[in-house]
Structure 1
C-alpha cells in the first residue's frame, strides 16, 4: 500500500548556537578580535608574498592560497555569528542557510587540502632535492591547487543536492549549531536522511582521515630521508623547515579529531561544550596560520624586514 508523503521545504532555520553559551557577549567580542586579526595577518602575508619575487615559488604559492582560504572561511562564518548576536537575528532563510553551509564547508575542505599539498611539496623537496624544481614547477603547483578547489566544489555540491531533497516537519526548524552546519541540519529532517548520513561519513573520510593519513605517511618518508643525512646540522635544518607545517596540521586536525573520537567512544559531550569547541577549532587556525608562518619562517621574516625598510619614513633633511 502506497503511503502519502508531502514534501515540506522550510521557510528557514532558527540557529540556536553561540547565544546559549554562558557569558556569550565576551565570546562574541573575542570572535570580533579574532576576525580582525585573521584579516590583517593573512592579508599582510599575502602582500609580502606578492611583492617578494624570491617567494614566487611553489611552496609559497600554497601559502598564498591558504591565506586566501583562511580569509574566505572566516568571512563566511564569523560576521554572520556576530550579526546574530548584535541584532538577535537567529532566523536564516532556507537559501541563505544553504549558501552559508556551502561556503563554510567549501573553504574548510580547501584548507584541509592545502595542508596536504604542503606535505606533498615538503616530501618532494626533501626526498628528491635535485629533481624537485622540475617535478614541482609554479605551473604544476597552480594546477594542483585548482584541482583541489574543483574537488572541494564537487563534494559540497553533492552534499547540498542531498540536503535539498530533505523534508522538514516544521516551517522553521531549530538547528543546534552556531551556523547552518551540514550535520545538525540533515539530522532534524523528517524524511529519510540515510543518504545524507552516508555523505557525512564520506565527507569525514575525504576531508579528515584521508588527508591526515597522507600527511602522516609523507612524514614517514621524510623521516627516512632525513635519517640518511650524515650532518646533524643538516638534519636539524631539514626538520626545522617541516616544523611550521606540522604545527599547522596539529592546529587544524587535532581539535576536530578529539570531538569525533569522543563521539565514537560514546562520551556524552554537553551541547554548549561541543559548540564552543567546534567554533574555536573553526576560527583559530585562520588566525594562527599567518602568525606561525611569519614568526617561524626565516625567508618570510627576511622579506618582512626588507618590506618595512623600504617603507620606513625617511627624514626630510
Structure 2
C-alpha cells in the first residue's frame, strides 16, 4: 500500500461494503507553476461572486427587469455563484492549506453540489436559447408563450430534475466498496474518478457517469443548436438587413456564453483518454470556473436594458443622497 493510502482507516459496513474514512484529493499535483494558477482561481472566484451578486441585485431592484428573460438571467447568476462556491473554496483549502484529505461524506456532498449547479448552468443556458428562439421566431406571440409564471415553473422544475438526477448518482456511490486506492486524481470529488476507484461492481455508477454528460452537455447542446437553426431560418426571412442585424445582436452574448461553457467540457468528454490527464484537469477546471465569471460581463453588462437599469439605480441613489443632505 502506498504512503498516501496508509493514512486511511477503512470502516466496514453491512453487506461487506467498505467505505474509507477519507479520500485523498491530489488537486493539480504534477502540474508545474500551480501556485500562480491558484492565485488566478482566487481572483476569478472573487470576480464571480461580486459580478453575479451585482447582477442579481440590479434585477431584483428594477421592476422593469422582472421579465421572463431576466428571471432566467437571475437564475444563471444564482447557479454561477453557487457552483463556484461549491468548487473553488474547497480547491483553495486543498491546495493552500494542504487539506488534501476529505471525508467520505464530505466528498459525496461536494460531488452533489458541484454537479447540481453545473447542471443548472447548462439548463439555464438552454432556457435562454429557448427564450431567444421564441422572441425571434414568434415575436407577436412571445408575451403569450413566454410568461413570468411559465419561466418560474420551468426553472423550478429544472432545479428539481437536476437535484434528483445527482442524488440518484450519489446514492449509487454509497453502494460501492473501496478497498484499494483512495487517491482521487482530480481537483474535486468527480463522480467518474471516484467510481473508478471501486473494487466491486460499479455498473450503475458507470451508467450514471455516461448519462450525466448526455444530460449536462450533449442534449442541451443539441437543443441549443436546434434553436439557432430555427433562429437562422427566421432571420433569413427578414428583408431589411438592419433589422436582421439588430435581431442577431440579441443572440451574440448568449452564443459567446454557450461557446465558453460547452466547448472545454465537450472537448474533454469527446477526447476522453486521448487527452493527457494534466491537460484534462486544467481544461475541466477552466471550463467550470471561467464561465461564471464571464456571464455578468458578457450577458448582462453588454445588454442595453441592463445598462439602463444601472443608470436608473445610480440616479435614484443620487436623488436620495441629495434629499438627505437637504
Shared fold, TM over 0.5: yes
SS in structure 1 of the partner of residue 199 of structure 2? coil
Match of 1:289 among 295, 299, 312: 295
Q: Which residue of 1 aligns with 2:47?
A: 37
Aligned partners of 2:119 and 2:216 also within 8 Å = yes
Distance 1:180 1:101 in 2: 5
Distance 2:30 2:305 in 1: 44
Structure 1 residue 310, shift from structure 2 partner: 2.7
Q: Which runs of 4+ in 1 moved over 3 A?
A: 312-317
Q: Which residue of 2 aligns with 1:306?
A: 312
SS in structure 2 of the partner of residue 229 of structure 1? coil
Structure 1 residue 141, shift from structure 2 partner: 0.5
Is 1:199 the counterpart of 2:205 in the alignment? no
Distance 1:295 1:9 in 2: 47
Show structure 2 runs of 5+ residues with no match: 1-14
Q: Which residue of 1 aligns with 2:107?
A: 97
Match of 1:156 among 166, 179, 186: 166
Structure 1 residue 12, shift from structure 2 partner: 1.7
SS in structure 2 of the partner of residue 92 of structure 1? strand
Q: Which residue of 1 aligns with 2:193?
A: 184
Aligned partners of 2:27 and 2:95 also within 8 Å = no
Distance 1:259 1:30 in 2: 21
Structure 1 residue 130, shift from structure 2 partner: 1.1
Q: Which residue of 1 aligns with 2:122?
A: 112
Structure 1 residue 18, shift from structure 2 partner: 2.2
Q: Which residue of 2 aligns with 1:240?
A: 249
Residues 216-245 of structure 1 deviation map (CA, whole Å, 9 limit, x = unaligned): 001111111111111111100100001111
Number of matched pairs: 309
TM-score by length of structure 1 reads 0.94
Structure 1 residue 295, shift from structure 2 partner: 3.4
Residues 41-99 of structure 1 deviation map (CA, whole Å, 9 limit, x = unaligned): 00001111111111110000000000000000000000111111221010000000000
Match of 2:271 among 262, 276, 293: 262
Show structure 1 runs of 5+ residues with no match: none
TM-score by length of structure 2 reads 0.91
Is 1:59 the counterpart of 2:65 in the alignment? no
Aligned partners of 1:293 and 1:300 also within 8 Å = no
Structure 1 residue 270, shift from structure 2 partner: 2.6
Aligned partners of 2:27 and 2:94 also within 8 Å = no
Distance 1:77 1:19 in 2: 17
Distance 2:149 2:296 in 1: 24
Once superposed, what is the RMSD of the aligned Cα atoms? 1.6
Aligned partners of 2:22 and 2:101 also within 8 Å = yes
Aligned partners of 1:19 and 1:85 also within 8 Å = no
Structure 1 residue 314, shift from structure 2 partner: 5.0
Distance 1:22 1:38 in 2: 25
Residues 111-136 of structure 1 deviation map (CA, whole Å, 9 limit, x = unaligned): 11001111111111111111110111
